[in-house]
Amino acid sequence: MEWSGRRSGWWTGVYGVPVPAHDHAGGPGHSPETGPSRRSTAPAVTGHVFIDESKARGYLLAAAALLPADLGHARLVIRGLTLPGQQRLHMTKESDPRRRSILSALRGLDLTVTLYDAGCTHIHELDARAGCLRQLVTDAAAAHATLLVLEEDASLRRWDNQQLIEITRDFGCHQTLRYEHRRAAVEPLLAVPDAIAWCWARGGDWRNRVRPLIDTVHRVDPSPGSAKPGSPTVRKAAGPTS
């Protein structure tokens, strides 16, 4: 079962509907959280989606979508935040003043952000990632997105590719939706979902600070089946997230 506001998420072609002031308690299926629109509506267009994960307090996948025409400016903004000698922005390694500066800069970009929150409901981390990827591809196919960019992780690349082959075939978008793995040091825009996922998972004031950037949160419940033995497990939350 899903619930939503008037419109929700980047896949509708609407530039954004933020999550409400209080988090939805969740429910069965994939449940988007929405609120009043924060950007004007626009026709559905193709987009590039940049994806990163957080495993700090359960499993979370963040997806930031931009129009191709906005990519160059957004990359310049992110590169301008990178300090001399710093290969990439990585929120977990930044100081609090730097984190606030990064969030302030992200607010100036024309982003549409969706979170896929599997929480701690999955026994295996790969089950959580698979569920989040499936919902993400569902949304991307509906929006006619053309490219998914995931952060390079050598231990996950083959697994990701196999999952995405199967999922894109299931949804009939294997010929129109491409996916690539890129290193964050090479693709500056992977800093966007990294920062957003970090803040949301951190909870408290950081979640409140990032909330205006987020259009929709999908609760991803466990799917039938489980990952193969030996798959990494999701770490349990250390405490409240907000």
Query: DSSP string spanning 65-81?
Result: EE-GGGHHHHHHHHHHH
pLDDT at 210: 97
Residue recorded with tokens 């999952």: 163
Report yes or no: 234 and 128 within 8 Å, Cβ to Cβ: yes
Which domains, and CATH codes, for the chain?
A: 10-34+46-220 (3.30.420.10)
pLDDT at 223: 60
Q: Which amino acid is at 107?
A: R
Element (H, E) at 169: helix 157-170
Model confidence over 190-211: pLDDT tens digits?
A: 999 999 999 999 999 999 999 9
Find the helix packing angle between 96-106 and 71-81, rounded to 10°: 160
The Cα–Cα gap between 176 and 140 comes to 10
Two structure tokens written together for 35: 């609120």
pLDDT at 46: 66
pLDDT in tens, the chain (242 residues): 232 322 344 444 333 333 333 343 333 344 455 433 344 333 344 699 999 999 998 999 999 999 999 999 999 999 999 999 999 999 999 999 999 999 999 999 999 999 999 988 777 899 999 999 999 999 999 988 999 999 999 999 999 999 999 999 999 999 999 999 999 999 999 999 999 999 999 999 999 999 999 999 999 987 644 333 333 333 333 333 43
pLDDT at 122: 73
**pTM listed for this prediction:** 0.77
Residue recorded with tokens 């700090």: 56
- Return the closest-CA partner of residue 199 out of 7, 64, 82, 39: 64
pLDDT at 193: 98
**Start-to-end Cα distance in the chain:** 25
Q: Under 8 Å CB-to-CB from 25, ≥6 apart: which residues? A: none
Report yes or no: 114 and 9 within 8 Å, Cβ to Cβ: yes
Q: Which residues pair with 51 in a beta bridge?
A: 63, 150
pLDDT at 120: 85
Q: Which amino acid is at 220?
A: V
